[in-house]
Structures are given as C-alpha cells and as structure tokens.
C-alpha cells in the first residue's frame, strides 16, 4: 500500500525530503505559504552568495594591477544591477525545484499548514479556503526566522534584518552590524566592499564565536585589514532612531552612530501556530525534540532542519529529511552529527567540521594539533590569495581525527576530505598519506594532517 506523506515546509529540508520520498514510491504533498526553496534559496544562502560574488569581482577588479592588468577609468558598484542579478539567480533555482517536484509527481499546496491530528494537516490558502490533507506520516520542516529582540526597534528601514539587507537599492554610507557571527561577517564584508563604513558589535570575545577561537582571531585580522571596526565583549543597551539614522548606546556608555543598523544575531525556530501544543509534541526552548530517527514523541510525526536542536544548516536539514523519509518507508536510518561541515562565505572563506579545539578539550580529550599556512603553497601564491591556514585536531591517544578548521581561499570547497575523515574515524596519518595533486590548495590539508605527527615536509 502506497504511503501518504505530508511535509510542511518547502525549504532545503522539505523539498529534498519530498523528492526522496516520491522516488521511493510514496504519495507526497508538500505545503508552504511561500515559494519553494525556503529561507536558504529565497532569503539566505543563495542570495547572499550571489551578492558576495558581485562584491568579490569588484575587489578583484580593484586589485587587477597586482596581476599586471591595467584598468582605466572609474570602477564602481551598481547595487541595482547586483540585486537584479541576485533575483534572477534565485528565480532560476526556484523554477528548477518546481520542475523537479512536478516531474516526481509531488503535489505542492500553497498556504499555511497546521497539524490537526497525527494523520491530518489543514491548509489555509491565500483566499482563506481550507484544504484538508490526509497522511500516514507528517514531516515538520518549517525552518527558522530571524531573531528579533525588543531592544532593537525593527522597522525594516533604519533598523533592519537580513531580509531587508538582501534588497537594499542604495548603498548606505555607514552601518552598525549587531553580531559578528556568520550572518554579520558575510554582510559586513559585502557592504564594506561596496564602500560602506562598518562597525560590528559582538558580545563574545572573538569573531565567529561558534568557530574555533584561533580561526576567529584570524578573522579579526581580516576585518581589521578591511578597516571594519569590531567591538568585542560589547553589548548594546539602547538603540535610538534619529533624523540622520541610528544611534546605539553600549554598556560602557560609548555611542555609535550610523545610517542604519543590521541586526544579525541568529535565528529562531519557526514553530508557532502549526498545531504543536494541541498534539503535545515535546519541545525545548522553542525547538522540537526528536530522536536519532528524527521522530517526535507523537507517532507518525517527524521533524527536521532548523526546528530541531542542532546547527541551523541547509545541508543538515536535507540530510535529516532523507533520514526521516527512510524511516517512514521502512529503511532504518540514524542521524550521525559527528561530521557536519560548516561554512562562512567571507573573503577569505571559513569552514569547519567536527570539534573545535575548545570543544575537544571540554569533552575531555587529550589532543594533538597540526596546521599549515596557505602562504607556503605555490597555488595560493599564484592566485594572490595566501592568507589563512588549515588546522587539524586529533586524539592524542589514537591519532583519530576529531575536527578541523580552515580559513583561506576556497575553504568551503576543500573541507570535504576532512569531513570524510571525521565521519569514518580515519587517523591523521591515514588521511595524510593520501597523494594530493600539485599545485593545489588542498595540499594545505595534506601538510596540516602530516604536521599533526611532525611530518610536514614544507613546515619547519
């Protein structure tokens, strides 16, 4: 008998789960009040990368003389063109997902989904009509929303969140960014490249506070070099909107003024008004509790992505969705969170997997470390992108890889052999013996792995 699966949310978790389930023979309906692709495609991962690509080209053109390319005349950004280009990229990708859903016979219902019991979802459509969907299993994949704190008087104009930052049609002269995490650093570099004066305010003691502290310190050097002002261990006590823009008053009494403020302090699970309370679904601090099979405490109801505890990452949501579908359709699957790659698409990029040095020590491991600077690589020198390093954390007793962090060119692309190493419990010696093509950036990974045991040929 064909199983009916209803998925609430069409982001990278929901739509991947829908296509996976359809390919496995299920009858699938996916519900979303917005376009397919969710925050990642429409207001997050993809649009930010499109804008960062534009600002990277601007930087490359300005530095072209360093490569023997002489460009005459004024070089300036066209933010309207950048935004239009970003919108076209998003539209193409949305159309591509809609095509895949259609070809896999996935039914898409536009509207707000609400679970009425473990076998039914009620969808309120734009015209206020209601469609009731029957299901053998339900997957909650409603994602997350930008966190908003009352102290910041959000108005979408002078005090904005990432949604508005992705659609600005004028380059602000100055901007205060609240938070020096992933969102703050990416937007900070984008607007800095366009000429905006940036001041970042971070409560923690280093940039990218969820990453390895040493890597965060390296990012601070990058921000300083780009003349981005970073105020660490600082808290905004009060925000006032003025005729000229925004004024922020810090806990030390210092005042900062700018044209606008971007609040980039993270995201909260989007779990309100979807029927969770009535069903008695267990939650913790706004997130849905699930087991290793992505099951909630209510039989037949699963949850994945940003609504469950753990890192809020698009690719993790997709993996969790596939695991949930496997379990619904009878193939036992357990989620493994040891090797989830992380990425920050700044210039240079940052990536990581597994435990940071601080986390490994907190968990009681005796560790050994290896690192290697990109500056020593021929490929990096030829590219003119040689800032940064690869850092490896291994178990001192077993040599098994515990984690890795990279800051440098194409860090988010070259992390993946280390993801494999962490996932399958390889040792630094085993992975360090893999022959790497020369000249490549990945040679830094090989050298850092060898350095764990003092065997790096190109490091003193």
Q: Any idea of the CA torsion for 35, 41, 47, 52, to the nearest 10 degrees? A: 180
User: Was 274 annotated as part of a binding site?
Assistant: no
Are the C-beta atoms of 388 and 218 separated by less than 8 Å?
yes
User: Was 408 annotated as part of a binding site?
Assistant: no
- One of 206, 315, 410, 438 is an active-site residue; which one? 438
User: Was 180 annotated as part of a binding site?
Assistant: yes
User: Was 182 annotated as part of a binding site?
Assistant: yes
User: Was 142 annotated as part of a binding site?
Assistant: yes
- The secondary structure of the chain in percent helix, strand, coil, rounded to multiples of 5, reads 35, 25, 40
Q: What is the DSSP letter of 2?
A: P
Q: Any idea of the CA torsion for 182, 183, 184, 187, to the nearest 10 degrees? A: 120
User: Was 266 annotated as part of a binding site?
Assistant: yes
Are the C-beta atoms of 11 and 305 separated by less than 8 Å?
yes
User: Was 25 annotated as part of a binding site?
Assistant: no
User: Was 179 annotated as part of a binding site?
Assistant: yes
| Active site annotation includes 438 | yes
Q: Are strands 260-263 and 174-178 parallel, antiparallel or unpaired?
A: parallel
Rg (CA), the chain: 23
What is the spatial distance between Cα 173 and Cα 317, in angstroms, rounded to a whole number? 37
User: Was 184 annotated as part of a binding site?
Assistant: yes
Q: What phi and psi values does residue 450 have, to the nearest 5 degrees?
A: -70, -30
Closest CA to 321 of 144, 139, 145: 139
User: Was 17 annotated as part of a binding site?
Assistant: no
What is the arrangement of strands in the sheet containing 367-373, beginning at the earlier edge strand?
A: 342-344, 349-354, 401-408, 389-395, 367-373
Are the C-beta atoms of 47 and 178 separated by less than 8 Å?
no
What sign results for the dihedral spanned by CA atoms 125, 308, 92, 108?
negative
Quote the tokens at residue 177.
């960014």
Are the C-beta atoms of 250 and 256 separated by less than 8 Å?
yes
- State the residue for tokens 């060898």: 450
What is the spatial distance between Cα 133 and Cα 5, in angstroms, rounded to a whole number? 10
Half-sphere exposure of 105 (CA within 13 A, CB side): 9
Which amino acids are annotated as binding site for NAD(+), given as ranges?
179-186, 202, 266
- Which residues are known to be catalytic? 438
Report the binding-site residues for FAD. 49, 113, 142-144, 306
Binding residues: 49, 113, 142-144, 179-186, 202, 266, 306
């Amino acid at each position: 008998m064909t199983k009916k699966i209803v998925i609430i949310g069409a982001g990278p978790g929901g739509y991947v789960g829908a296509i996976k389930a359809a390919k496995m023979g299920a009858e699938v309906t996916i519900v979303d009040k917005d376009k397919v692709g969710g925050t990642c495609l429409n207001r997050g991962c993809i649009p930010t990368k499109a804008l960062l690509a534009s600002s990277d080209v601007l930087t490359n053109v300005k530095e072209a003389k360093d490569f023997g390319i002489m460009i005459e005349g004024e070089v300036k950004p066209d933010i309207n063109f950048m935004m239009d280009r970003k919108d076209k990229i998003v539209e193409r990708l949305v159309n591509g997902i809609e095509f895949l859903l259609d070809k896999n016979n996935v039914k898409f219902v536009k509207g707000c989904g609400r679970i009425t019991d473990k076998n039914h979802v009620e969808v309120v459509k734009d015209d206020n009509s209601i469609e009731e969907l029957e299901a053998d299993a339900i997957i909650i994949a409603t994602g997350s929303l930008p966190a908003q704190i009352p102290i910041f008087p959000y108005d979408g104009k002078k005090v904005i969140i990432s949604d508005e930052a992705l659609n600005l049609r004028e380059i602000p002269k100055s901007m205060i960014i609240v938070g020096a995490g992933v969102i703050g650093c990416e937007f900070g570099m984008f607007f800095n490249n366009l000429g905006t004066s940036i001041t970042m305010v971070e409560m923690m003691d280093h940039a990218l506070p969820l990453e390895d502290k040493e890597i965060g310190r390296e990012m601070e050097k990058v921000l300083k070099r780009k003349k981005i002002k970073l105020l660490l261990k600082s808290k905004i006590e009060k925000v006032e909107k003025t005729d000229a823009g925004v004024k922020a008053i810090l806990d030390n009494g210092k005042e900062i003024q700018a044209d606008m403020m971007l609040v980039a302090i993270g995201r909260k699970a989007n779990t309100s008004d979807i029927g969770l309370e009535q069903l008695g679904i267990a939650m913790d601090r706004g997130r849905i509790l699930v087991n290793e099979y992505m099951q909630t405490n209510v039989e037949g109801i699963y949850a994945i992505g940003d609504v469950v505890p753990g890192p809020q990452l698009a690719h993790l949501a997709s993996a969790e969705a596939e695991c949930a579908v496997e379990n619904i359709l009878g193939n036992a699957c357990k989620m493994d969170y040891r090797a989830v790659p992380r990425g920050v698409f700044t210039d240079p990029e940052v990536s990581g997997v597994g435990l940071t040095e601080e986390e490994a020590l907190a968990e009681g491991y005796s560790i050994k470390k290896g690192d290697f600077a990109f500056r020593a690589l021929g490929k990096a020198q030829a590219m003119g992108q040689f800032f940064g390093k690869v850092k490896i954390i291994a178990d001192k007793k077993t040599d098994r890889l515990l984690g890795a962090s990279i800051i440098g060119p194409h860090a988010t692309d070259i992390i993946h052999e280390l993801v494999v190493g962490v996932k399958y419990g390889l040792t630094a010696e085993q992975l360090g013996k893999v022959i790497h093509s020369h000249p490549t950036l990945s040679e830094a990974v090989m050298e850092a792995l060898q350095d764990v045991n003092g065997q790096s040929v190109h490091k003193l």
